[in-house]
Amino acid sequence: MSVQEVVFASRLGRLAGLRSGSPQGPRVLALHGWLDNAASFIPLADTLTALDLVMLDLPGHGRSAHLGPGAEYTLSVSLNAVLDAADALGWERFALLGHSMGAGIASVLAAAAPQRVQRLVAIEALGALADTVEHSTTRLRDGLAAQRSASRPLRVFPDLAAPIRARVLANQLSEASARLLVERGVRMEGDGFVWSSDPRLMLPSLHRLTEAQVRQLITGIECPTQVVYASPAQPYLPEALRNERAALLPRGELVVLPGSHHLHMDTPAAVAAVIGDFLSG
């Protein structure tokens, strides 16, 4: 299976990614999770060869450009980046495949631009992370203070062993999956390696949607949608909440598979067996 590097011009700066599969196949844009990158979908790409699969590095991730000084990574930044990539490809209509944060972005975009999104596969998330109205002031104060504080110097690794080990421990990933993410997620700095992702991605957001707003957006997803959750559920999206959200989809199907949060990387055959026919439909 051949994977090619691709680069897109965007109003937000350079967008990088990977492309695989068949140019004549169904068009699918894949969006990775927080602090991951396009390599997140390489294991699935090995199986989904009938698709025209474009795996995007979201702004500040992988080999895509960081935002300019003073800018904040927000949901609207990600939504516009995805549409900029689709426009650069000449894709008026396409499917979205998202994992974790990428699934949240994809589901919100499906609601916001139903004329563009034909199908949606959301792995390990549906809708954005929510917060309560009562937490608005505290979140704004904490987020602004973090943005105004001095940045820390980047940690330099002499080789890839330490960052790979860090990803294995932090995300319960297999070593092979962690290596894929790390190799695309670092850059050379002097005699060693540093993370290529923008350190500002670690800052808390200034505001979040409420759960009521997230649920209203989910009800606005008009396209056929397949939601894939791993069991057990992640703490940020408990089982009861994730099931309630999935039940709001007008044209949704929920599948639960045993596995970790990165099940699309560690058990790609099982995930591909679920989503392959759906994305080809």
Instruction: Give the mean pLDDT of the chain.
Output: 96
Query: 196-234, pLDDT tens digit by residue?
Result: 999 999 999 999 999 999 999 999 999 999 999 999 999
Query: 35-61, pLDDT tens digit by residue?
Result: 999 999 999 999 999 999 999 999 999
Is the pTM higher than 0.95? The answer reads yes
Given a cut of 90, whether residue 261 has pLDDT beyond it is: yes
Residues taking part in catalysis:
100
| C-alpha to C-alpha distance for 66 and 79, rounded to whole angstroms | 16
Average pLDDT over residues 175-184: 98
Average pLDDT over residues 172-177: 95
CA-to-CA dists, residue 50 to 28, 43, 162, angstroms: 11, 14, 36
pLDDT cut 90: percent of the chain above it: 95
Average pLDDT over residues 7-32: 96
Task: Indicate the fold that domain 3-129+137-153+205-280 takes in CATH.
Answer: Rossmann fold (3.40.50)
Q: Model confidence at 150, in pLDDT bands (50, 70, 90)?
A: confident
> Residues 63-69: contacts with CB within 8 Å, 24+ apart?
63/16, 63/37, 63/184, 63/196, 64/13, 64/14, 64/15, 64/16, 64/17, 65/12, 65/13, 65/14, 65/15, 66/13, 66/198, 66/200, 67/12, 67/13, 67/198, 67/200, 68/13
Query: 180-200, pLDDT tens digit by residue?
Result: 999 999 999 989 999 999 999
Dig out the tokens for 260 from the structure.
């970790």
Given a cut of 70, whether residue 251 has pLDDT beyond it is: yes
